[in-house]
Amino acid sequence: MSKLYTEYAEVYHLMYQGLIDYDEEFVYYQKILADFNSKSLLEVACGTGQLGRRLVEAGYTYQGLDMSADMLDFAREMLPEGQFHQQDMRYIQLSDTFDAVLSTARSVSYLLKNTDALSTFQNIKKVLKPGGILTFDFIDANTYIPHILANPMAIHEVETTKGKFKRENHYHINFTDGWCLTWDAKYFKQSEAGGYESLGNDKHQLRAFTEDEMCLLLELSGLKVQAVLERPSYAYNTKVAIAQNL
């Protein structure tokens, strides 16, 4: 697991509140949930609970799942009334079933192999009620790969309640096993003198999907694709899939 979700969990918690508009995320996905009359939901890769807090405040019956104990520590602190599970999305084992399963922040990018994606979707199907939906965003290979080839480096700077943080991102394409890339990140915090001090480095392996690939993986998992939507994000455009357990 990447340091961003363990050793740097607090940095994630602070920075991503400035990178992702969680109020906008809530409004966007709430409309999808309303379209399918979803009242109970499981958030997969729930992170530090930013979206979960908004869903609970809106009256949804909510449970969160994440692989990182460090991320869940923040989620439980923010949402003590919430129910959280430390599990790998590829091997979900829950006794409850839900009207909807939600996953944001392009978390499926960590499913590097087709077998990983199939296992994840098949296990999600098991915890969906009949007619329930899975909705999530994913990196679109057709737009993302050309973007990365043209922009192999990016910098994000965020002012937080605990100071200013900077992340330098370096991307390296690897097509050996699909539309994959290595994401090298360097983290910094601004000092009292005004310069930046290094917090350390991190490395991720990520995967992008074509729309056809994603639809096939969902269909093979027994989920009927209802829509694939275009959606902008803070770094680049993504796509949002909606699939139903019919």
Top-ranked range on mean pLDDT: pick from 40-44, 67-71, 151-155, 198-202: 40-44
Model confidence pLDDT, tens digit, residues 34-51: 999 999 999 999 999 999
pLDDT at residue 146, as a whole number: 93
pLDDT at residue 206, as a whole number: 94
Sorted by where each starts, the structural domains of the chain and their CATH numbers stand as: 3-140+208-244 (3.40.50.150), 142-207 (2.20.25)
Model confidence pLDDT, tens digit, residues 177-209: 889 999 999 999 999 888 999 999 999 899 999
184's CB contacts (< 8 A; 6+ apart) are 169, 170, 171, 172, 201, 202, 203
Contact call for residues 163 and 174 (beta carbons, < 8 A): no
pLDDT at residue 64, as a whole number: 98
Mean pLDDT over residues 63-87, rounded?
93
DSSP 6: T
Model confidence pLDDT, tens digit, residues 212-237: 999 999 999 999 999 999 998 766 77
pTM over 0.95: no
Bridge partners, 85 (sequence order): 65
- Which of 23-27, 231-235, 239-243 shows the lowest per-residue confidence on average (mean pLDDT)? 231-235
Considering only CA atoms, which of 21, 26, 76 is closest in space to residue 48?
76
Q: From CA 116, how far away is CA 221, in angstroms rounded?
A: 11
Kind plus residue range of the DSSP H or E element containing 145: helix 141-150
Model confidence pLDDT, tens digit, residues 94-147: 999 999 999 999 999 999 999 999 999 999 999 999 999 999 999 999 999 999
Q: From CA 201, how far away is CA 60, in angstroms rounded?
A: 37
DSSP track, 20-64: S-HHHHHHHHHHHHHHTT--EEEEET-TTSHHHHHHHHTT-EEEE
Check pLDDT > 90 for residue 27.
Answer: yes
